Chain A
């Protein structure tokens, strides 16, 4: 089946530093990847849609200068949390569609637990 690999699975960083999270589709090409964030006991919140070779589309309220997304190839998208603050601590999850149809289900990575101290 379609596999999405996310790295790292957890990271602890100091306030003010930047953290990069990688999302790879291992056995399929993904022209579009999605970045989500989940707070405890809340649902998944879509942050941005990452399109290969073009700028990401950010959801309302998500700062594009703080959450930098790069989708340089058909198998890799990265999310960089710049100048991280404790309120950025969260569970970040990426996903990608394995098929070209918009009805193809999303496949998710295992998420990255970010803790900013």
Chain B
């Protein structure tokens, strides 16, 4: 059972336009969400996070929006750059997950930003 779902395996965007990556979750106990970026043959790199007490968090070109009622979050990248081309993973952790706060991962969305 996939608790964190990224339903779009891939996304193609023109350079300079907005990239919107979506993530849905099913576990109502999730209260912390993160986005990671991953290049081939490398480990994921942390991008941005959001706590369930907020509905928006912004860091430079990256903004994450959280809609708790819909159990949906999205990552907006604007303007998109060719260097943003990578696989983006959505991850979540639950308030009842214990001290180590195990992350539950989506399957990732491969973003291609075309020059």
Assess A111 versus B106: contact at CB under 8 Å? Given A44-B89, A49-B100, A103-B32: no
- The verdict on B42 contacting chain A, using a C-beta distance below 8 Å, is yes
Q: Which of B43, B51, B102 has the most CB of A within 10 A?
A: B43
Q: Nearest-CB distance from A75 to chain B (Å)?
A: 17
Residues of A98-113 whose CB lies within 8 A of B: 102-103, 105-111, 113
> How many residue pairs, one in A and one in B, have C-beta atoms under 8 Å apart?
52
Q: Is the interface of A mostly helix, strand, loop or mixed?
A: strand
In the complex formed, the residue of A with least CB distance to B43 is A108
Distance in angstroms between the alpha carbons of A111 and B106 in the assembled complex: 19
What number of A residues sit within 8 Å (CB to CB) of B? 25
Contact (Cβ within 8 A) A108 B102: no
- The verdict on A78 contacting chain B, using a C-beta distance below 8 Å, is no
Contact (Cβ within 8 A) A95 B101: no
Contact (Cβ within 8 A) B89 A43: yes
- The verdict on B103 contacting chain A, using a C-beta distance below 8 Å, is yes
Contact (Cβ within 8 A) B42 A44: no
What number of B residues sit within 8 Å (CB to CB) of A? 22
- The verdict on A4 contacting chain B, using a C-beta distance below 8 Å, is yes
- The verdict on B96 contacting chain A, using a C-beta distance below 8 Å, is no
| Binary CB contact string for chain B from 81 to 109 against chain A (1 if under 8 A, 0 otherwise) | 00000000100010000011111011110
Distance in angstroms between the alpha carbons of A108 and B37 in the assembled complex: 11
Closest 9 A-B residue pairs measured CB to CB? A108-B43, A102-B101, A105-B46, A43-B105, A43-B107, A44-B105, A93-B43, A110-B42, A108-B44
| A–B Cβ pairs within 8 angstroms, 19 of them | A4-B43, A32-B100, A34-B100, A43-B89, A43-B107, A43-B108, A44-B44, A93-B43, A94-B43, A102-B99, A102-B100, A103-B51, A105-B46, A106-B46, A108-B36, A110-B41, A110-B42, A110-B43, A111-B42
> Which positions in A face B, CB cutoff 8 Å?
4, 6, 9, 32, 34, 42-44, 46, 49, 57, 91, 93-95, 102-103, 105-111, 113
